Amino acid sequence: IRSVFASFDQPLGPDCIDRTWDVTDCFFGGSFDIPVDNRMRLDRPYCRVDRHALRRTLSPKDDDGEEEGKGGSRANYRVMRANHVVSRSTSINIYSPPGSMVHDGSGTTALLRSKDGTIASVRARLVVDCTGHETRVVRKDDRAKSIPPGFQIAYGVLARVDETNVPDVDSVGPYYKEAMTLFDYRTDHFPDNSNELSKAENAPTFMYAMPLENDRIFFEETSLVARPAVSFRECKERFHARMEHLGITVMEVEEEEFCYIPMGGPLPARDQRVVGFGGAAAMVHPSTGYHLCRAMMGAGAAAGAIREELSSSEWNPDRAAARAYDAIWSPSNVAQRNFAVYGGEFLMKQNVEGLRGFFDGFFRLEAPMWGGFLAGWPGLPSNEYHETWYARLVFGLTFVSKLPPRVALDMLGSIVSYSISEGVPLPQSVTPLFGLPMGYGYKDKGKAAQGDVAAKSEAREMIVESSVEDVVPVDFEESEALVG
């Protein structure tokens, strides 16, 4: 990622990382003879990004170190704080109400509404929409069969905890301060045979814990992926029940977080002029919800394609949009995504026991193999373990061998039923038999010949020679030239 952004004169410094933990902990105890208190420690660092520092770093600076777009001497863009709520896509490149977004041969005219209600008309050579999964102007592909998105829901708090009488100041409950806890899927904080336990087993959530400095820690009770979504209130109640059981007393809540991440769903439609990016282009990992690193790598590829087109002597906005989409969703990347979409669907049907077994087996793979799946994007570390059909097949077979027998059998049966119900995408992602999915590459449609040109030309010549007919037809281009 650093090398990609450096190539755009946007070097990413160490200040973009708020905290790094050298190891990552997981708790999958309570099933398959794994003790409840068993800690799986992954010899893999985990970083917390400082989102404010990252934004400052990525904002172009003028000669005085000020962010451009705010009066800087070299500013070549301006920032408008407005909402694009005027337009709504009704079909590919068609928007309602009429005139709210109009494409022509050189670019796009769009109407924006500022917070005070003022409508501004903005002209652009190309529009890139980063408004998220539920964008109003990027059309999703409704011609290809696809599965609705699942949803990752989390209730989080940045809290200060009471350490007055704790026996070990190096930990917050079971969470070691020098480790980031990625998963705690235990349910022993609920009474046996209770309604709360039954709900937690059938609609599982896990604790995600990031110890910061001293007594500050970020907790998040998370539903990995579900359809329909687990409620925020349910996540909050489970968080408090877990804290009470673990003997962790929250003294102060500095921030509350309500996390809503659509995962999977259809890709953008082809042949549209507006380029979706990030959630608007369905770039969120369909199995994990990870997005930031994928978006940053995808940004380099998409920006490179757009920059080449902008510098072309023959500007073609349709070609620019198609090349940007193809840089994000190449046929090979779509195939890799299809494999991950199946993973998300399998996770959604698991109860808590299945998820414990799934992830216990997952993290018993070699680190590059599981790490590459979690990232799952061209250019990110270890993606070579997932970017071809053969690599994915090897990954899948190796993974199944690490799973508890019940989960392995469930996965094999699910592969068969999913392939029957959803068709080609999964088999296509792990075999060479069906080729690659359709890409977004630009196809020059040229000037379409209308009918049989030779026959029409002959008829025209005969009309000119005719002593009866005196109106000679002309083609549209010739007619336009005469008008001009």
Weakest mean pLDDT among 140-149, 175-184, 330-339, 382-391: 140-149
pLDDT band at 71 (very low <50, low <70, confident <90, very high): very low
pLDDT of residue 326: 97
pLDDT of residue 141: 93
Provide the edge-to-edge strand list for the sheet that holds 40-42: 40-42, 23-27, 179-184, 206-211, 216-226, 150-161, 250-263
In sequence order, which ranges of 329-475 are alpha helices (DSSP H)? Answer: 331-348, 352-362, 367-375, 389-402, 405-422, 425-430, 453-465
pLDDT, tens digit (0-9, with 9 covering 90-100), for 415-444: 999 999 999 999 999 999 999 999 999 988
pLDDT band at 78 (very low <50, low <70, confident <90, very high): confident
pLDDT at 372 over 80: yes
Which of 288, 289, 260, 265 has its CA nearest to residue 276? Answer: 265
Q: Which helix (H) or strand (E) holds 262?
A: strand 250-263
pLDDT at 2 over 90: no
pLDDT at 85 over 90: no
pLDDT, tens digit (0-9, with 9 covering 90-100), for 267-313: 999 999 999 999 999 999 999 999 999 999 999 999 999 999 999 99
pLDDT at 465 over 60: yes
**Average pLDDT of span 433-457:** 83
- DSSP bridge pairs for 101: 110
Q: Which residue has the higher pLDDT, 447 or 468?
A: 468
pLDDT, tens digit (0-9, with 9 covering 90-100), for 125-172: 999 999 999 999 999 998 878 899 999 999 999 999 999 988 888 999
Cβ atoms of 306 and 323 closer than 8 Å:
yes
Cβ atoms of 111 and 136 closer than 8 Å:
no
pLDDT at 456 over 80: yes
Cβ atoms of 36 and 43 closer than 8 Å:
no
pLDDT of residue 395: 98
**Average pLDDT of span 61-70:** 52
pLDDT at 73 over 50: no
| Distance from the Cα of residue 412 to its chain's centroid | 27
pLDDT at 1 over 80: no
pLDDT at 470 over 50: yes
pLDDT of residue 38: 97
pLDDT, tens digit (0-9, with 9 covering 90-100), for 241-271: 999 999 999 999 999 999 999 999 999 999 9
Residues of the chain with pLDDT > 90, as a percent, come to: 75
Q: Which residue has the higher pLDDT, 244 or 76?
A: 244
pLDDT of residue 443: 87
Q: Among all chains, which residue has been given the structure tokens 């962790």? A: 248
pLDDT of residue 177: 96
Residue 426: φ, ψ to 5°: -70, -50
Structure tokens at 276: 């979706």
pLDDT of residue 81: 77
**Average pLDDT of span 384-390:** 97
pLDDT at 74 over 90: no
In angstroms, rounded to a whole number, what is the distance separating the alpha carbons of residues 323 and 116? 36
pLDDT at 182 over 70: yes
**Average pLDDT of span 43-62:** 85
- DSSP bridge pairs for 124: 108
Q: Among all chains, which residue has been given the structure tokens 């008829």? A: 459
| Mean residue pLDDT across the chain | 91
pLDDT at 64 over 60: no
- Residue 448 is classified by DSSP as -
pLDDT band at 76 (very low <50, low <70, confident <90, very high): low
Q: 391-423 as b/e, with b when 16 or more CB fall inside 10 Å?
A: bbeebbeebeebbbeebbebbeeebeebbeebe
pLDDT, tens digit (0-9, with 9 covering 90-100), for 147-160: 999 999 999 999 99
**Average pLDDT of span 33-43:** 96
pLDDT at 72 over 70: no
Count CB neighbours of 55 within 10 A: 11
In angstroms, rounded to a whole number, what is the distance separating the alpha carbons of residues 82 and 350? 42
Q: Which residue has the higher pLDDT, 113 or 424?
A: 424
Q: Among all chains, which residue has been given the structure tokens 């290809």? A: 144
pLDDT of residue 447: 62
